[in-house]
């Protein structure tokens, strides 16, 4: 409803005596004249407009140049709990929250003075009970008369919801900061405790072993053996408890990326074969060599879980048993990797106690060595990699310990921008590159990427220390370094390379799944020449290699 139409609605006058008519009047209340048919025709649509005006849920007002309401609709009376006559007897500012009066008046006057005809603003109205209503206004000035036509909506609920949301967000931020602070404190405590526990244990194990070298009688030898066994067990416990706690507080670096399942399964089997043979257990892989399954995991940590499953299958079954590692698609997008044995099995009543720290469900009475932490550790690791873990077992037929991880198809996500890669055609050797990385899929990927750069000799190492040895021995022209290595951290490898005069000048490029700016800044400050993130962007990778190895000599289009 425009202001002009509203004013003509309220401004109708008797054609005889010019007295003001009210909408719907059939006779003039002053001179009694019948309202003319032409007037009636004009008034009829006004009656309809007035109906909308009366019915509206939003507030409609007309304010005179003196700041008094000239006309208000029932919505404002309802909102304020005040009769229309009372509202009309007071200036609009009487109903506005004292803190908003001056600001509203000033802002409105300024905006109208600047030539804006229609303005929007918010202020608070106070109802008869002291309740506050946030009003969202749209107002228009008639410059000729100084009359302002306003329409407003009560937006208190939205305001309150917004404030509550902001408060909830602030509370969540506070909670997160508190949790982070608590985690930091826990992490510091853990590293202190680890140090404090290891120091005396070092003395126990060290001097115990020295005693063993002395000529001891049989009894003394047995005592020393007991001391050493206890010490080693304690060391194992400390390591496992610390690692589980670190995983729980997120203090363990994980490099979750596509991992080839057949490969990691074969590695785990290979690692445990000597132990299995010694105990006359057959280890088998039911995963076809041709299988190409990949899951999202940290390669080294996934192997750790499979090794734990396999070593349990060896420990808790009798000689002559078989343990089989298998993999299959579990359900939409998930791959299940399982270790099945044909051992004694576990009663269903005990199954739910598994995966809890120190829960050995009676194995201690059977005299089988262990800490009761392996499964809890595995659970923490798999969950940190975004997966699930579980067991199925039947007494008398055996157990299946399984884990499920998200399946990925690395081929479906080719390295970005590969179609625009420049292929270099050359025959001479331009340099050597050492890639230190524990995930075989990544090693292969980089090796394949370097197919585009013939003439680069490729060396690789899966352990940080082996990488350091290779770097000292071969002095490659470029080192690509993963941060999450099984033995020492990539940052330590970088520091050792920089500290050694033999390797200090070799440019090092970090290739990590950790894309956080903090990590990037830290590694660059430690002396890395570039910091690239996984998944590998082939073009960026090759141009970095070109830059650091002197660039392609004869680029052709690819
Ligand atoms: P640990 O082997 O050090 O005791 P784990 O957490 O790896 O710790 O295992 C917890 C318990 O689960 C074991 O003590 C054993 O009783 C039971 N268990 C694990 N694997 C098997 C298995 N393959 N067959 C039967 N029992 C098992």
Among 17-21, 52-56, 319-323, 509-513, the minimum mean pLDDT is found in 17-21
Residues 6+ apart with CB under 8 A from 247: 377, 380, 381, 384
Identify the pLDDT of residue 81.
96
Angle between helices 538-549 and 440-449 (to 10 degrees): 70
Residue nearest atom 20 of ligand 1, based on CA coordinates:
312
Instruction: For residue 341, give the ligand 1 atom closest to its CA.
Output: 23
Higher pLDDT, 246 or 48: 246
User: Residue 551: pLDDT band by 50, 70, 90 thresholds?
Assistant: low
Residue nearest atom 17 of ligand 1, based on CA coordinates:
360
User: Residue 365: pLDDT band by 50, 70, 90 thresholds?
Assistant: confident
User: How far is the C-alpha of 135 from the C-alpha of 364, rounded, in Å?
Assistant: 72
Higher pLDDT, 74 or 42: 74
Query: Read out DSSP for 184-212?
Result: HHHHHHHHHHHHHHHHHHHHHHHHHHHHH
CA of 377 to the centre of ligand 1 (A): 12
- pLDDT of 558 > 90? The answer is no
- In the chain, domain spans: 56-154, 159-248, 257-406, 417-549
Identify the pLDDT of residue 421.
59
Identify the pLDDT of residue 248.
81
Angle between helices 464-474 and 490-499 (to 10 degrees): 30
Instruction: For residue 361, give the ligand 1 atom closest to its CA.
Output: 16
Identify the pLDDT of residue 412.
65
- pLDDT of 368 > 80? The answer is yes
Higher pLDDT, 120 or 517: 120
CA of 391 to the centre of ligand 1 (A): 11
Segment 119-124 shows an average pLDDT of: 94
For the purposes of burial, counting CB atoms within 10 Å of the CB of 267, is it exposed (0-12), middle (13-18) or buried (19 or more)?
A: middle
- pLDDT of 2 > 50? The answer is no
CA of 360 to the centre of ligand 1 (A): 6
C-alpha distance from residue 44 to each of 41, 71, 149, 288, 357 (Å): 5, 20, 22, 88, 84
Higher pLDDT, 524 or 22: 524
Higher pLDDT, 414 or 519: 519
The phi, psi pair for 90, rounded to 5°, reads -125, 160
C-alpha distance from residue 1 to each of 52, 375, 452 (Å): 9, 73, 71
Tell me which H or E stretch contains 79: helix 74-80
Tokens coding 277: 């043979």
User: How far is the C-alpha of 2 from the C-alpha of 383, rounded, in Å?
Assistant: 63
Identify the pLDDT of residue 199.
84
Q: Do 246 and 380 meet the contact criterion of CB atoms below 8 Å apart?
A: no
Q: Do 453 and 432 meet the contact criterion of CB atoms below 8 Å apart?
A: no
Asked, as a colleague might, if the bond just before 535 is cis with ω within 30 of 0, I would say yes
With tokens 């908003």, the residue in question is 100
User: Residue 40: pLDDT band by 50, 70, 90 thresholds?
Assistant: very low
Segment 379-389 shows an average pLDDT of: 94
CATH entry, 159-248, from 3.40.190.10, 3.40.30.10, 1.10.287.130, 3.30.420.40: 1.10.287.130
Q: Can you give the pTM of this predicted structure?
A: 0.59
CA of 315 to the centre of ligand 1 (A): 8
- pLDDT of 38 > 60? The answer is no
Tokens coding 199: 């120091």
Tokens coding 149: 């036509």
Query: Read out DSSP for 111-180?
Result: HHHTT-SEEEEEEEEE-TTS-EEEEEEEEEEETTTTEEEEEEEE-HHHHHHHHHHHHHHHHHHHHHHHHH
CA 458, chain centre distance (Å)? 35
C-alpha distance from residue 379 to each of 385, 395, 472 (Å): 10, 23, 39
User: Residue 555: pLDDT band by 50, 70, 90 thresholds?
Assistant: very low
Is 3.50.50.60 the CATH number for 257-406? no
Instruction: For residue 372, give the ligand 1 atom closest to its CA.
Output: 8
Q: Residues near ligand 1 with C-beta < 6 Å?
A: 308, 312-313, 316, 341, 343, 346, 354, 359-361, 363, 370-376, 399
> pLDDT by residue (tens digit) across 400-413?
999 999 999 877 65
- pLDDT of 29 > 80? The answer is no
Distance between first and last Cα of the chain: 66
Q: How many other CB atoms sit within 10 Å of the CB of residue 431?
A: 15
Closest CA to 434 of 466, 461, 413: 461
Second-level CATH architecture of 417-549: 3-Layer(aba) Sandwich (3.40)
- pLDDT of 4 > 60? The answer is no
Segment 114-139 shows an average pLDDT of: 94
Among 7-16, 234-243, 246-255, the minimum mean pLDDT is found in 7-16
Identify the pLDDT of residue 350.
95
- pLDDT of 116 > 70? The answer is yes
Instruction: For residue 339, give the ligand 1 atom closest to its CA.
Output: 23
Tell me which H or E stretch contains 22: none
Identify the pLDDT of residue 137.
96
> pLDDT by residue (tens digit) across 147-160?
999 999 999 999 99
- pLDDT of 209 > 50? The answer is yes
User: Residue 1: pLDDT band by 50, 70, 90 thresholds?
Assistant: very low
The full 3-state SS of 478-505, as one line of letters, equals: EEEECCCCCCCCHHHHHHHHHHCCCCCC
- pLDDT of 7 > 60? The answer is no
Tokens coding 376: 């809890």
User: Residue 14: pLDDT band by 50, 70, 90 thresholds?
Assistant: confident
Among 10-14, 222-226, 261-265, the minimum mean pLDDT is found in 10-14
Segment 278-297 shows an average pLDDT of: 92
Identify the pLDDT of residue 413.
55
Q: Considering the chain, what percentage of its residues have pLDDT values greater than 70?
A: 90
User: How far is the C-alpha of 453 from the C-alpha of 417, rounded, in Å?
Assistant: 16
Identify the pLDDT of residue 48.
75
Tokens coding 128: 């008869």
Q: Do 153 and 144 meet the contact criterion of CB atoms below 8 Å apart?
A: no
Strands 398-408 and 334-341: antiparallel
Segment 212-230 shows an average pLDDT of: 92
Higher pLDDT, 41 or 462: 462
- pLDDT of 37 > 80? The answer is no
Pocket test residue of 306, 321, 363, 371 for ligand 1, highest count of atoms within 8 A of CB: 363
- pLDDT of 112 > 70? The answer is yes
- pLDDT of 78 > 90? The answer is yes
User: How far is the C-alpha of 11 from the C-alpha of 28, rounded, in Å?
Assistant: 14
Q: Where are the alpha helices (DSSP H) in 402-516?
A: 440-449, 464-474, 490-499
3-state secondary structure of 449: helix
Identify the pLDDT of residue 429.
79
Tokens coding 222: 């047995």
Pocket test residue of 237, 241, 312 for ligand 1, highest count of atoms within 8 A of CB: 312
Instruction: For residue 308, give the ligand 1 atom closest to its CA.
Output: 7
Identify the pLDDT of residue 144.
87
Higher pLDDT, 44 or 84: 84
CATH superfamily of 56-154: PAS domain (3.30.450.20)
Q: Do 432 and 456 meet the contact criterion of CB atoms below 8 Å apart?
A: yes
> pLDDT by residue (tens digit) across 459-486?
999 999 999 999 999 999 999 999 988 8
The full 3-state SS of 302-342, as one line of letters, equals: HHHHHHHHHHHHHHCCCCCCEEEEEEEEEECCEEEEEEEEC
CA of 316 to the centre of ligand 1 (A): 7
- pLDDT of 554 > 60? The answer is no
Buried b / exposed e along 79-99 (16+ C-beta atoms within 10 A):
bbebeeeebeeeebeebbbee
């Amino acid at each position: 409803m425009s202001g002009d139409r509203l004013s003509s609605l309220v401004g109708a006058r008797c054609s005889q005596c010019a007295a003001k008519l009210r909408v719907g009047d059939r006779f003039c209340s002053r001179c009694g004249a019948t309202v003319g048919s032409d007037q009636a025709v004009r008034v009829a649509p006004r009656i309809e407009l007035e109906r909308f005006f009366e019915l509206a849920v939003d507030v409609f007002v007309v304010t005179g140049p003196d700041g008094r309401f000239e006309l208000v609709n029932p919505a404002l009376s309802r909102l304020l709990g005040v009769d229309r006559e009372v509202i009309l007897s007071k200036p609009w500012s009487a109903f506005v929250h004292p803190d908003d009066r001056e600001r509203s008046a000033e802002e409105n006057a300024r905006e109208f003075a600047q030539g804006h005809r229609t303005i929007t603003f918010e202020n608070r109205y106070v109802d008869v009970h002291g309740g506050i209503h946030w009003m969202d206004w749209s107002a228009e000035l008639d410059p000729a008369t100084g009359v302002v036509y306003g329409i407003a909506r009560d937006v208190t609920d939205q305001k309150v919801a917004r404030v509550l949301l902001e408060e909830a967000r602030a509370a969540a931020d506070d909670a997160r900061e508190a949790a982070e602070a608590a985690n930091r404190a826990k992490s510091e405590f853990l590293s202190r405790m680890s140090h404090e526990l290891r120091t005396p244990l070092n003395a126990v194990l060290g001097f115990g072993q020295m005693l063993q070298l002395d000529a001891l009688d049989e009894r003394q030898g047995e005592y020393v053996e007991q001391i050493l066994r206890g010490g080693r067990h304690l060391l194992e416990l400390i390591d496992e408890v610390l690692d589980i706690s670190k995983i729980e507080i997120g203090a363990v670096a994980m490099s979750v990326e596509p991992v080839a399942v057949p490969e990691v399964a074969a590695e785990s089997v290979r690692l445990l074969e000597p132990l299995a043979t010694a105990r006359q257990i057959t280890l088998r892989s039911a995963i076809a060599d041709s299988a190409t399954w990949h899951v999202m995991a940290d390669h080294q940590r996934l192997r750790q879980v499979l090794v734990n499953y396999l070593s349990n299958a060896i420990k808790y079954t009798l000689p002559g048993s078989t343990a089989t590692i298998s993999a299959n698609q579990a359900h939409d997008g998930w791959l299940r990797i399982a270790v099945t044995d044909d051992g004694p099995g576990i009663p269903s009543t005990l199954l739910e106690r598994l995966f809890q720290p120190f829960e050995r469900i009676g194995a201690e009475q059977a005299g089988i060595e262990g800490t009761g932490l392996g499964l809890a550790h595995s659970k923490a690791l798999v969950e940190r990699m975004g997966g699930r873990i579980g067991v199925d077992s039947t007494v008398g037929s055996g157990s299946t310990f399984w884990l499920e991880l998200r399946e990925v198809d690395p081929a479906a996500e080719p390295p970005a921008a590969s179609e625009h890669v420049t292929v270099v055609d050359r025959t001479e050797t331009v340099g050597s590159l050492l890639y230190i990385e524990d995930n075989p899929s990544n090693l292969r990927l980089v090796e394949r990427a370097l197919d585009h750069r013939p003439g680069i000799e490729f060396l690789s190492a899966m352990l940080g220390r082996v990488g350091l040895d290779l770097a000292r021995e071969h002095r490659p022209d470029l080192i690509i370094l993963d941060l999450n290595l099984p033995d020492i951290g990539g940052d330590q490898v970088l520091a050792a390379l920089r500290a050694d005069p033999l390797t200090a000048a070799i440019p090092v490029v970090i290739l990590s799944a950790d894309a956080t700016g903090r990590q990037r800044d830290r590694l660059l400050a430690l002396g890395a020449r570039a910091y690239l993130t996984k998944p590998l962007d082939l073009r960026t990778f090759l141009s970095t290699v070109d830059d650091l190895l002197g660039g392609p000599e004869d680029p052709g289009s690819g």
